[in-house]
Amino acid sequence: MARPRSEDKRSAILAAATELVAAQGLGAPTAKIAKQAGLAEGTLFTYFENKDDLINQLYLEIKTDLRDAMMANYPAHRSLADRARHIWDRYIDWGVAFPAKRKALSQLGVSGRITTTTTDASRSAFCEIEALMHESLATGPLKDQPPAFVVAIMESLAETAMRFTTSDPAQAERYKQAGFDAFWRAISMK
């Protein structure tokens, strides 16, 4: 009879994978991930079919965590600018609070190992944020650009705000505001 899986062990594997992918990239060996999680390497494969499955599940886990942070207390009935600012602030706060997750997510996103199924599942989790982006872009200067291009601009500005906020926490609000102002001007005519 198969042993029941433990959510604590799965979480420990994902936490170790996050740290090691952030530090070493996708070349981090599964043996090292298992060891950091306090498990035997074979146990890792009880939870994940192979390394690619682990990588895809890690990507979804981090994206879900980010989405949950961005949508916490979302002001659905406020103005478009207020909703966009809410998303922006939560994104910056999450990135500053979880630098290993931020770095791992960045590496996973460009790895070429994230499946279409995983990408689609991740995208569907962000449908409300995507709708906000489309509403913001409807009449703005970037309205005819591909959504991925607009997201890349947002991520670049957010990464800059996160980097400066991390290096100078006393000016965190200033950097968040300046980053949001630049992004809002880029996407909206309002």
What domain range includes position 27? 1-48
- The model's pTM is 0.90
Verify that 29 and 110 share a domain, yes or no: no
Q: Residue 56: inside a domain, yes or no?
A: no
DSSP designation for 169: G
Verify that 78 and 25 share a domain, yes or no: no
Give residue 3's pLDDT. 56
Verify that 113 and 37 share a domain, yes or no: no
Q: What is the CATH number of the domain that holds 42?
A: 1.10.10.60
Verify that 39 and 123 share a domain, yes or no: no
Is the pLDDT at 1 greater than 80, yes or no? no
pLDDT, tens only, 31-87: 999 999 999 989 999 999 999 999 999 999 999 999 999 999 999 999 888 999 999
Q: Mapping DSSP to helix (H, G, I), strand (E, B) and coil, where does residue 189 land?
A: coil
DSSP designation for 140: S
Q: Mapping DSSP to helix (H, G, I), strand (E, B) and coil, where does residue 152 land?
A: helix
Q: What is the domain count for the chain? A: 2
Half-sphere exposure of 104 (CA within 13 A, CB side): 28
Verify that 32 and 97 share a domain, yes or no: no
Q: Residue 58: inside a domain, yes or no?
A: no
DSSP designation for 113: -
Q: Residue 53: inside a domain, yes or no?
A: no
Q: Residue 155: inside a domain, yes or no?
A: yes
Verify that 68 and 161 share a domain, yes or no: yes
Using alpha carbons only, what angle is made at residue 13 by residues 151 and 106, rounded to the nearest 5 degrees? 20
Give residue 60's pLDDT. 97
Is the pLDDT at 134 greater than 70, yes or no? yes
Identify the band that residue 173 occupies on the pLDDT scale cut at 50, 70 and 90.
very high
Identify the band that residue 131 occupies on the pLDDT scale cut at 50, 70 and 90.
confident
